[in-house]
């Protein structure tokens, strides 16, 4: 293993620690996501709830739940610092295990795409934070859903490509 791979591996382990710690904190907060006696989810706010339901939820939150939701979204900013660089590290480590130039380019592309995915996630959180304060959602909800879907597709594709290679592929024979 060379120095470059060692650095990607070290970055991955640091990111995994950040990811795990913040995921635990965020999961712990989710039990407080109650509006009108009903539990709501972050995934619902991100992807599955229609605009009207998001408006209803956010406009009906008491101050305690608004505070917890804001904390959750702020923890998510730290979570992002674990997820996207972590997926980048996975893609870069996987590149070292394949000989195919096309697969190596594809993994590099998904490593680089984690930066715009991170930007999409930041946009998502900023939108939700804005809507918590003022639950008036205009025509930007369609763009919001597109950006959220793009984030998920890029991140999951990068991880889904890299993890099997890292788990099941032996290091290639290097022709020196």
What is the spatial distance between Cα 50 and Cα 60, in angstroms, rounded to a whole number? 16
* Closest residue by Cα to residue 151 from 108, 109, 121: 121
Query: pTM here?
Result: 0.91
What pLDDT sits at residue 170? 80
Residue 174 lies in a domain: no
pLDDT in tens, 136-168: 999 999 999 999 999 999 999 999 999 999 999
* Domains of the chain: total: 1
- Name every residue whose Cβ is closer than 8 Å to that of residue 172 and which is 6 or more positions away in sequence: 97, 98, 99
pLDDT mean over 17-39: 96
Q: By residue range, what is the domain housing residue 66?
A: 3-165
Residue 108 lies in a domain: yes
Residue 97 lies in a domain: yes
pLDDT mean over 10-37: 96
């Amino acid at each position: 293993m060379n120095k470059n791979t060692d650095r990607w591996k070290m970055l991955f382990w640091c990111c995994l620690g950040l990811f795990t710690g913040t995921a635990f904190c965020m999961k712990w907060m989710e039990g407080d996501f109650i509006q009108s006696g009903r539990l709501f989810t972050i995934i619902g706010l991100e992807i599955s709830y229609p605009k009207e339901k998001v408006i209803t939820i956010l406009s009906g939150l008491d101050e305690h739940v608004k505070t917890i939701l804001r904390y959750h979204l702020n923890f998510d900013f730290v979570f992002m610092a674990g997820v996207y660089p972590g997926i980048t590290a996975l893609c870069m480590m996987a590149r070292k295990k394949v000989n195919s130039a096309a697969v190596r380019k594809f993994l590099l592309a998904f490593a680089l795409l984690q930066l715009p995915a991170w930007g999409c996630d930041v946009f998502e959180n900023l939108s939700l934070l804005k809507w918590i304060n003022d639950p008036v959602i205009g025509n930007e909800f369609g763009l919001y859903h597109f950006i959220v879907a793009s984030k998920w597709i890029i991140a999951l594709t990068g991880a889904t490509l890299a993890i099997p290679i890292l788990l099941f592929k032996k290091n290639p024979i290097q022709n020196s």
